[in-house]
């Protein structure tokens, strides 16, 4: 069985410490709306300054096809259901530079080259930051010491790398070669889980862990995403699981790291 999620207490301690340092200057008093745009679903939650959810996480299925206009229409609709917020953090399933979405493997090609950050600032009227979705979730679960890697297993495979709590952006390991002339994403996607079942898919997860450990020699690996709960192998001591809500608290740390 998988090793249970272990980081909730550590994550809260890290957020509380950093927000306390910023409270005198004001940013820590902000409510943060965290948005996770995925190939399967779009999620939202509003967090208070300590990282606690103010509301239940909202989730809607991603439109098919997941065009730029269709997903933005969904986000507009979901925003009307959220409590008040002061800023937005967005995780996007692809490469993001300066708020611009440069790839769209699990969404429609109409996303490529769009300034999502500026668009959401216009829609919501609050400051917004947009980064890769695995990068955002990583901010929520890392311990901030040494080399840490984050993997998200969902529609595709997301990845993030941190050194002493600082992000190395847009790693995108999912599209690199892995086994049998196929990429990590082609071997470990949600479609592969459904086709081959939990046991065979979990064996591939174990192979991925072994490969990445030998390449990156990380101190800790954090695995999340909607399919992490389906892992059916024993995990090494320096590998642990996290849930989606805890990953979305990275929306706070994103603002603090760049402050």
Give the domain CATH number at 162.
3.30.420.40
CA 209 to chain CA centroid, Å, is 18
Q: Structural domain of residue 90, as residue ranges? A: 8-135+251-258
pLDDT above 50: residue 2: no
Position 3 in a domain:
no
Tokens 């994403």 sit on residue: 185
Position 200 in a domain:
yes
Question: Residues 223-250: pLDDT tens digits?
Answer: 999 999 999 999 999 999 999 888 888 9
Same domain, 117 and 204: no
Domain count for the chain, please give it. 2
Same domain, 21 and 119: yes
Residue 50, phi then psi, degrees to nearest 5 = -90, 0
Question: Residues 21-44: pLDDT tens digits?
Answer: 333 334 446 999 999 999 999 999
Same domain, 123 and 59: yes
Task: Determine the Cα–Cα distance for residues 145 and 71; give it in Å rounded to an integer.
Answer: 36
Same domain, 125 and 235: no
Same domain, 129 and 13: yes
Position 2 in a domain:
no
Position 157 in a domain:
yes
CB 250 within 8 A of CB 231: no
Same domain, 113 and 221: no
Same domain, 57 and 168: no
Same domain, 94 and 156: no
Same domain, 13 and 121: yes
Same domain, 102 and 182: no
Q: Percent of the chain at pLDDT above 70?
A: 88
Position 219 in a domain:
yes
**For helices 250-258 and 8-22, angle between their N-to-C axes, nearest 10 degrees:** 40
Position 55 in a domain:
yes
pLDDT above 70: residue 5: no
Position 1 in a domain:
no
Residue 170, phi then psi, degrees to nearest 5 = 55, 50
Same domain, 127 and 148: no
Same domain, 106 and 19: yes
- Please report the pLDDT score of residue 218 as a whole number: 98
pLDDT above 50: residue 10: no
Position 117 in a domain:
yes
């Amino acid at each position: 069985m998988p090793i249970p999620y272990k980081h909730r207490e550590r994550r809260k301690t890290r957020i509380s410490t950093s927000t306390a340092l910023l409270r005198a200057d004001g940013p820590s008093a902000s409510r943060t709306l965290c948005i996770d745009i995925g190939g399967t679903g779009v999620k939202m939650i509003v967090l208070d300054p300590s990282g606690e959810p103010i509301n239940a996480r909202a989730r809607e299925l991603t439109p098919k096809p997941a065009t730029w206009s269709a997903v933005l229409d969904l986000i507009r609709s979901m925003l009307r259901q959220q409590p008040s917020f002061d800023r937005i953090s967005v995780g996007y399933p692809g490469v993001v530079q300066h708020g611009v979405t440069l790839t769209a493997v699990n969404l429609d090609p109409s996303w490529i080259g769009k300034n999502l950050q500026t668009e959401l600032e216009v829609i919501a009227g609050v400051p917004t930051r947009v980064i890769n979705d695995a990068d955002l979730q990583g901010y929520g679960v890392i311990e901030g010491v040494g080399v840490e890697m984050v993997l998200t297993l969902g529609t595709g495979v997301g990845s993030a790398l941190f050194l002493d709590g600082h992000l190395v952006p847009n790693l995108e390991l999912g599209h690199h070669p892995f086994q049998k002339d196929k990429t990590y994403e082609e071997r470990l996607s949600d479609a592969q889980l459904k086709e081959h079942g939990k046991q065979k898919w979990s064996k591939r997860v174990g192979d991925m862990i072994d490969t990445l450990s030998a390449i990156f020699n990380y101190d800790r690996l954090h695995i999340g995403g909607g399919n992490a709960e389906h892992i059916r192998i024993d995990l090494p001591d320096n590998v642990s699981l996290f849930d989606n809500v805890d990953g979305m608290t990275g929306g706070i740390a994103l603002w603090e790291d760049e402050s």
